C-alpha cells in the first residue's frame, strides 16, 4: 500500500508534457483566440525559402514565417518574472530533439533549439497559459516537432515584448500578421515599409532578389497583391475587387499552363479547408479580381514550378482581428 502511494505521488509530481492540441487549428483562426496548447501550421503555403521566427512575450504567442509568409502560429509559455526570457535577435545555435536540461535535474526538453549558451532555448513543454518557465520558450509538442523539422541551424529568432524599444522589429510583431519579409541583406523587414505612393499603381523590383522560391499573397481587403522571392518583396500592386466579393482564405499552387498559356492553379489542403486539396481554382473566383496588365505580365515572368498563392479577404499586417487582418493599408 505504501509503495503504491509513493508511486502515485511520483506520478502526480512529474511535470506534464505540453498540453498540445493534436492537430492544427483552421488556418484563418485569429491567433489571439488560440487557447493554451493550440497552434496553426501549414508549411505548404511556402514550401521553401528562408525562415524567421518571431516570439511576442506580451501576448505569449510565436510566429513562424517562410519566404516572408506566415506558415505557423502558436501559444507559448515564456520565462516567469523571476527568470524572464531575454529579448533580442538570436540565431539557432544547437538542435537536439532528445535534449535534457543541464541546469534543472535533467528535465526533458524535447525538440530543443538553443538560442543562448547560458540556457535559453525553444522546446516542447508545459503550457499553463501564462509565463512559467525558467527563461525558455515552451511550445506545444506537435508544433515544436514541425518547427524542429523545418528550421535549420542559424535561423533567426526575434524575441520581443510590448514597450521594448531596443529592437526595430517589434512593429511587425502583430497578432494575425500574415507577412514578415526579409530585407535584401537578410534581416527582418517591416512589410509596410516602402509602400506604394499615392500615384503608384504598382512597383516591380526583381533585382532585389534575383532568384529563389516565389510566393504570392493577395488581399481583397487591402486590395493589394504582393510577390515574394526568397523572402524579399520584389513586387506589389493595387488590384480591383468586384463589389461584395468575399474570397475567404484560399491557398493554391501553380500547376502549369494549358494550351493557350493560361496558368492553372490547384488548391492546397490547408487546415480547415482540407476538402479543397487538389481541386482546380474556380475561374469565377479568379475573374472577381483585376490585376493591372503590366504587373500581371511581370508577375507571370516569375511564376513557375513551386510557386504558391495565398489569398485572403483580410489584410496582411498590423491592426487586425478575425476577418479584417490588415497588413497593407489600402491607401498606400
pLDDT at 322 over 50: no
Q: Tell me the pLDDT of the chain averaged across its residues.
A: 83
Q: Which conformational region is residue 181 in: left (phi greater than 0), alpha (psi within -120 to 50 degrees), or beta?
A: beta
What per-residue confidence (pLDDT) applies to 5? 47
Has residue 166 got a pLDDT over 90?
Answer: no
pLDDT band, very low/low/confident/very high, at 162 (cuts 50, 70, 90): confident
| Nearest-angstrom CA–CA distance, 157 and 125 | 18
Please give the model's pTM, rounded to 2 decimal places: 0.84
| Mean pLDDT value across residues 31-56 | 94
Distance CA 62, CA 71 (A): 11
The confidence score (pLDDT) of residue 284 equals 82
Lowest-confidence region among 1-10, 132-141, 238-247, 312-321 = 1-10
- Residues 97 and 228: their CA atoms lie apart, in Å, by 31
Q: Are strands 51-56 and 61-66 parallel, antiparallel or unpaired?
A: antiparallel
- Strand partners for 240: 290
Judging by beta carbons within 10 Å of its beta carbon (0-12, 13-18, 19+), is residue 32 exposed, middle or buried? middle
The total of other beta-carbon atoms located within 10 Å of residue 152's CB is: 10
Bigger pLDDT: 330 vs 166: 166
Q: 20-24, 38-42, 204-208 — which is least confidently predicted? A: 20-24
Compare 180 and 107 and report the one with higher pLDDT: 180
Q: How do residues 244-296 score in pLDDT, each as one tens digit?
A: 888 888 899 999 988 887 788 999 999 999 999 999 988 888 889 999 999 99
- Say if residue 112's pLDDT is above 80: yes
CA 144 – CA 216 distance, rounded (Å): 26
Through-space distance between the first and last CA atoms of the chain, rounded to whole angstroms: 73
The angle at the Cα of 52, spanning 321 to 251, to the nearest 5 degrees, equals 55
pLDDT above 90 (res 34): yes
* Backbone phi and psi for residue 2, each to the nearest 5 degrees, phi listed first: -65, -40
Q: What angle do CA 265, 147, 215 make, to 5 degrees?
A: 25
Amino acid at each position: 500500500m505504501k509503495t503504491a502511494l509513493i508511486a502515485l505521488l511520483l506520478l502526480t509530481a512529474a511535470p506534464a508534457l505540453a498540453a498540445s492540441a493534436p492537430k492544427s487549428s483552421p488556418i484563418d483562426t485569429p491567433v489571439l483566440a488560440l487557447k493554451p496548447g493550440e497552434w496553426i501550421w501549414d508549411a505548404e503555403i511556402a514550401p521553401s525559402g528562408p525562415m524567421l521566427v518571431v516570439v511576442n512575450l506580451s501576448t505569449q504567442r510565436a510566429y513562424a514565417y517562410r519566404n516572408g509568409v506566415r506558415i505557423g502560429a502558436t501559444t507559448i509559455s515564456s520565462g516567469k518574472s523571476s527568470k524572464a526570457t531575454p529579448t533580442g535577435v538570436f540565431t539557432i545555435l544547437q538542435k537536439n530533439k532528445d535534449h535534457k536540461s543541464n541546469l534543472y535535474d535533467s528535465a526533458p526538453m524535447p525538440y530543443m533549439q538553443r538560442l543562448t549558451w547560458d540556457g535559453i532555448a525553444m522546446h516542447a513543454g508545459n503550457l499553463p497559459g501564462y509565463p512559467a518557465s525558467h527563461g525558455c520558450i515552451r511550445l506545444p509538442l506537435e508544433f515544436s516537432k514541425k518547427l524542429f523539422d523545418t528550421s535549420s541551424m542559424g535561423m533567426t529568432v526575434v524575441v520581443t515584448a510590448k514597450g521594448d524599444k531596443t529592437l526595430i522589429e517589434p512593429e511587425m510583431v502583430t497578432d494575425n500578421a500574415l507577412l514578415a519579409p526579409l530585407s535584401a541583406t537578410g534581416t527582418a523587414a517591416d512589410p509596410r515599409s516602402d509602400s506604394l505612393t499615392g500615384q503608384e499603381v504598382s512597383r516591380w523590383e526583381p533585382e532585389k532578389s534575383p532568384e529563389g522560391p516565389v510566393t504570392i499573397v493577395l488581399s481583397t481587403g487591402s486590395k493589394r497583391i504582393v510577390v515574394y522571392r526568397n523572402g524579399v518583396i520584389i513586387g506589389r500592386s493595387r488590384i480591383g475587387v468586384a463589389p461584395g466579393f468575399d474570397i475567404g482564405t484560399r491557398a493554391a499552387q501553380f500547376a502549369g499552363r494549358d494550351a493557350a498559356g493560361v496558368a492553372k492553379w490547384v488548391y492546397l489542403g490547408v487546415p480547415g479547408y482540407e476538402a479543397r486539396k487538389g481541386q482546380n481554382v474556380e475561374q469565377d473566383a479568379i475573374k472577381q479580381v483585376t490585376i493591372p496588365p503590366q504587373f500581371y505580365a511581370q508577375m507571370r515572368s516569375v511564376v513557375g514550378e513551386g510557386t504558391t498563392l495565398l489569398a485572403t479577404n483580410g489584410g496582411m499586417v498590423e491592426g487586425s482581428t478575425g476577418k479584417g487582418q490588415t497588413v497593407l493599408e489600402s491607401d498606400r
